Amino acid sequence: EKMTRCPTLPIIALLLVQLTDASRWALLQRESSSSVIGNGVQQYDNNRTLAALEYMRLLRAGSSSNEVSQDDDDTIASTIVEDEEAVVENETVEIITVPRPSGMDEDPDGIPTRFLKMCKGNRKAAHDAYADTLFWRKTNDVDDVLNRPHPNFDICKAITPHYFPGFDEVGNIILVQRPGMLDLSLKKSSNMTDDDLVYHMVYVLEYCWSVISPPKLPEGESRMKDGVMTNVLDMTGVNMRMLRKKAMMDFIMQFVSVMSAHYPQRSYKTIIINAPGWFGTVYRVFKPLLRESTRKKIQIYSAGPRQEKALSDVFGGSIPKEFCGTLDSDEAGEPGPQSNLELELRNFCVKRLQSHSVEMKKVTPKEESA
């Protein structure tokens, strides 16, 4: 109750939950709110009974029963990635299928390991959480999101700056997000909604976990493991006034609700950089509410030599120049917004636009949209 009196605290809480393993607070948020991804797709009303029924139906569809229809096969959320090709409008593109979550095959109820960890081994809670996710994915056709054209890609990237600069020192993908540079004016002039932006982030994460970092078998181990990421939250431009904007809070709440509920246990480490002076005070208030495992994953730095050394130690050759006290990197292939990973992601999106004869929507400069 005290947290709601200060508009800054809920936002910081949301950011930390999104960037770390989902806490009990995030689970309560998931149970009390709807998860949405937009761009014309249906909203998902979190109905526990329907979700559980859908979960059991999907499990049956994944069995060896000869009575399973082709329609059922097409809706299974967890399928092994296959090297398939499809011809659309005379263009050949690879069909991306969603990797099967690790631990699902070994578990007697087909519950992925990440959901069991999120719920601290509570099987019923993990069952319900995964059922919700399967139902959300089916209702919003998330499994096919990478095979559909995404003409708002460039606009959404411009509104919500984020990128994959490379991999960290242990081989995990790195995701940089810059909430202080969220361009609400471009969002308005481009007629983008919160649903559009969340849809885009789902697109990016599905690409990450299906193409860049799918489940793999670690050396010397017998079970597949899902990929995790190092999150870098760049606080440049974040101030108290900005955090009080309702439009920003609405987007963050919707985004975090989806991420926490449907992409749990995906964080390896969270590095918060360029933190303003007041951030430490806010974090100390919120810190006791976090689990010990979550607190250990969070590192907070302000600009200076200590931050630069920490980034260099963690990222090695993948550290963007903009975080080393030098100019932003605009050179193609360099770690940063124009990294090889980012060029490959955009090329992936453009190829699917071309195969569907759809054009990428242009980012209109502010002076032209006025």
The per-residue pLDDT for range 265-278, each reduced to its tens digit, is 999 999 999 998 88
How far apart (Å, rounded) are the C-alpha atoms in residues 152 and 149? 9
For residues 183-197, average pLDDT: 93
Structural domains in the chain (count): 1
List, in order, residues 6 or more apart from 69 with CB less than 8 Å away.
Answer: none
Return the pLDDT at 79.
Answer: 33
How far apart (Å, rounded) are the C-alpha atoms in residues 332 and 316? 18
For residues 302-322, average pLDDT: 79
Residue-wise pLDDT for 62-113, tens only, equals 443 334 344 444 443 333 233 334 444 445 788 999 999 999 999 999 999 9
> How far, CA to CA in Å, does 242 sit from each of 119, 123, 182, 235?
34, 41, 10, 12
Residues 48/128, Cβ–Cβ less than 8 Å: yes
Return the pLDDT at 227.
Answer: 94
For residues 209-218, average pLDDT: 93
Model confidence at 317, pLDDT cuts 50, 70, 90, reads: low
Return the pLDDT at 288.
Answer: 77
Return the pLDDT at 38.
Answer: 37
Task: Judge whether 137 lies within some domain.
Answer: no
Look at 91-100, 314-323, 350-359 and tell me which has the smallest mean pLDDT. 314-323
Task: Judge whether 266 lies within some domain.
Answer: yes
User: What sign for the dihedral angle of Cα 68, 72, 78, 79?
Assistant: positive
> How far, CA to CA in Å, does 132 sit from each of 27, 139, 170, 187, 200?
12, 10, 32, 30, 21
Task: Judge whether 263 lies within some domain.
Answer: yes
Alpha-helical (H) ranges within 214-356 are 240-243, 246-262, 279-286, 292-297, 305-315, 340-355
Query: Which residue did the predictor score with more confidence, 45 or 258?
Result: 258
Distance, CA of 65 to chain centre: 34
Tokens coding 28: 């309560």
At residue 233, the 3 state secondary structure works out as: strand
Task: Judge whether 234 lies within some domain.
Answer: yes
Task: Judge whether 295 lies within some domain.
Answer: yes
Task: Judge whether 180 lies within some domain.
Answer: yes
CATH at 187? 3.40.525.10
Share of the chain above pLDDT 70, in %: 68
Given a cut of 90, whether residue 252 has pLDDT beyond it is no
Task: Judge whether 147 lies within some domain.
Answer: no
Q: Any idea what DSSP says for residue 298?
A: E
Residues 329/321, Cβ–Cβ less than 8 Å: yes
For residue 311, give its domain range.
Answer: 152-355
Tell me the Cα Rg of the chain.
Answer: 20
For residues 9-27, average pLDDT: 48
Return the pLDDT at 324.
Answer: 60
Task: Judge whether 213 lies within some domain.
Answer: yes
pTM metric for this prediction: 0.77
β-strand pairing of 162-163 with 84-88: unpaired
Query: Which residue did the predictor score with more confidence, 332 or 35?
Result: 332
